[in-house]
Amino acid sequence: SGMKYSEFKAEVEKMGYWVDNDKSPLYVDKSEGGETIIAIGKHKRFSVDPSWSGFHTIPEENQIAIYNLAHALTVTPLEEREEEKRYWLQRIEPPILGEQDPRYLFYTRVGGYYDIGTTKSEWRNVIKTIFTESEIAEMDITGFEKIEVTP
């Protein structure tokens, strides 16, 4: 399986460098707003540019590590680099009931059934309240609206 932008960022940040993934290309810098080390294209595969002066002034083991991570990311197909969107499923309340506390679908892995509750929190490996796009595609969510879970 390929590498996600989030995995790349986490690995590079462990080395103490800064990842700017807000625009294209993605840049790895020595620090926030600092000297660029490497650039990775986001619109086509195999687009990696280590010819920045910052690349040549970091330790060789970091050059190798960053280049290997960049390679893993750039061979990953573009559509596989993004995290899958995740959602809470909020019940659409009938207006006749007036203001209600929002209710969210949950799945309990112990009983193996769905129900609704007022919490969005997941509990251990028992109560699941967050569903991925691909999970939702397999479900009938009539009567619910998707509320995106943002980091």
Per-residue pLDDT reduced to its tens digit, 80-130: 898 888 999 999 988 888 888 899 999 998 889 999 999 898 888 889 999
Residues 47/26, Cβ–Cβ less than 8 Å: no
pLDDT tens-place string over residues 10-67: 999 999 999 998 888 999 999 998 999 999 999 999 999 999 999 999 999 999 999 9
- Bridge-based pairing of strands 113-117 and 127-128 is unpaired
99 CB burial (10 A radius; 0-12, 13-18, 19+): exposed
Q: How far is CA 33 from CA 19, 28, 93, 124, in A?
A: 10, 10, 47, 39
Residues 72/5, Cβ–Cβ less than 8 Å: no
